[in-house]
Structure formats: structure tokens, C-alpha cells
Amino acid sequence: MTNSAEQVAALPMKPKTRPGGWARRALKRRATIVIFGVLAAVACVTLLPFYWMFSSSLRTMDNMFAIPIQWIPHPLNWMSYANAWQAQDFARYFFNSAVVAVAITLGNLLLCSLAGYSLTKFHYRGRGLLFLLILSTMMLPLEITMVPLFLIIKQLDWANSYQGLIVPFLVDGFGVFLMRQYMLSIPKDLIDSARIDGASELRIFWMIIMPLCKPALVALAVFTFREAWDMYIWPLIIITKDSQRTLPLGISLFMSSYGTSWDQLMAIAVLGTLPMILLFFFLQRAFIQGIAATGLKE
């Protein structure tokens, strides 16, 4: 639409400066349409599982594998949500997941900022080495260290506890990296003048540095929350008590015990995705910035 309008508007401006301008523009417009088509097709592939999850949560079991495909479920089966919710203690799992994800997120916001602040605005021996050490943890996936880590948690008697799920993840190499990169841009003068005004170091950090880092903090928060909400292998290892299960554990357990009640499974899947979808829609920029930041380089 806009393209043709632009074309018409541009016509009298440059009548014969570029021979073949029309053809080129037509080609360009066709390219735009093709690209739009390609992206729309890709979007269908990325959205299909979401739609299928949601629509199947409302489908009756009789229609679950109906042929021809029933794109809009009929009759609607709202009971699947109530049934699934009552089949296991999902309220508890949601609560546990929320506690763990919020605690991990808050811990990362504080500790990663403190570490980033230390690495950018203070001079001491071994600073560069410390930074490298922290960075190197990004190459150490949990899957490599989980066996000894489990033994440590067992020794601390933290199995089946919130501490066991939270404390090992209170800080993360990527988070420190993100905060450090952001804080590099904060001028040192700002800190020095606050010092002259007699502000204590902690006060400077809390009242000046943290507010300045708000965009980075929001991005880090969303990123960390998503990862924590997603966590599966670690709770699987250290949680055996039902009352301590997180949502992913509850869902996978539900899958193994109610494997063919697809309507209920999809209902729980919808509920488990909902917090992430809400987070994405309200904090879309931060959500994407956090991920884009994993591509930052020095």
C-alpha cells in the first residue's frame, strides 16, 4: 500500500533520471511481497504448536485426533482445565516455581550488579583475572557439574528445599558480564562527585548506579526469570517430595502418569506457558534485549 503511494508521489519528482526505475521498483515490490510471504510461512510454523496446544486443551478427547483436522474445537471442553488442576497439586507447584524464580532473579539483580560495579569502577589487584574466572563459568554447563553439585547439596542437607533450588543460581557469569558491559558506560566523574558530597560507597551504588542501570536490570531480570522458570534437570535431581516440586517437574510427572489425557496435558501446558507469554507481552523490549545481550562481545 505505502509502496504504491510512494511511487505515485515520487513520479513527478524524478521522471527520467534513472532508466528502468519502474522495473526496478516493481521488482523491489515483488521482493517485499515474497519476503513477507516467507516470513508469514515461518510464523505459521512457530505459532502452530501454540495454537495446537491451546485449541487441543479445549477439545474433547473424542475429537482429539479427528480427521479431517478440527481447527476450531467443537464442542468446547472447558473441564479439561479444572480436571488437570485438581489431578495434582498444581497450585503448589506454581507457587514453588514462582518463589524459586523470583528469588533467583532478585539475587542475580543484586549480586551481578555489585560484581559488575566492582569490576568496572574499582581498581585492585587481580581484577582482570577475576573477570575472566567469572566469564569462564559460562562454559561450564550444569550438566557437567551436576553430580558433585548434588553431593554438595546433599551434604548441606538442602535436598528437597528452596535453598537447594535457589542458592547455587543466585549469581551467573552471564549476568555479571551483562552488568559490567553496561556499567562501563557510566562516567566515573559521577561517582567521584558523589564521594565528594560525602555519600557512602553503598549509598552511591544504591542511589546512583542502580537507577542508572535500569534498562540493563530489566533485561537481566526477564532473562533470569525465564531461565529459572525453565529449570528442569536440577529440580529433577534434588527434589523428591511432592510439596517441593516445581512446575516443570509437576508437568513431566503429569505426563508420565496421565500420558494420554491430552486435553488435560495441554491445559496444564497452557497454564505453564502463560506467565512467560505475559512477561513477553508486557516486557517485550527487555525480553529481546536480554537475549540480544548474550551476543555482546568485548
Q: Which of 42, 61, 79, 91 binds other proteins (CB under 8 A)?
A: 42
Q: Which of 162, 206, 232, 282 binds other proteins (CB under 8 A)?
A: 232
CB 97 within 8 A of CB 268: no
Q: What values do phi and psi take at 192, rounded to 5?
A: -65, -40
10 touching other proteins, by CB under 8 A: no
Cα–Cα distance, 157 to 254 (Å, whole number): 27
76 touching other proteins, by CB under 8 A: no
Candidate ranges 18-26, 81-89, 212-220, 266-274; the one touching other proteins (CB under 8 A): 266-274
Interaction mask 127-166, other proteins, x per CB under 8 A? x--x--xx--x-xxxxxxxxxxxxxx--------------
Q: Which of 183, 213, 229, 286 binds other proteins (CB under 8 A)?
A: 229
Instruction: Give DSSP secondary structure letters for 169-211.
Output: GSS-HHHHHHHHHHHTTS-HHHHHHHHHTT--HHHHIIIIIHH
Least distance from C-beta 43 to other proteins, angstroms? Answer: 4
Count interface residues toward other proteins (CB under 8 A). Answer: 96
CB 58 within 8 A of CB 40: no
Least distance from C-beta 15 to other proteins, angstroms? Answer: 22
218 touching other proteins, by CB under 8 A: no
Residue with cell 482445565: 81
26 touching other proteins, by CB under 8 A: no
With a CB cutoff of 8 Å and minimum separation 6, the contacts of 84 are 90, 254, 261, 264, 265, 267, 268, 271
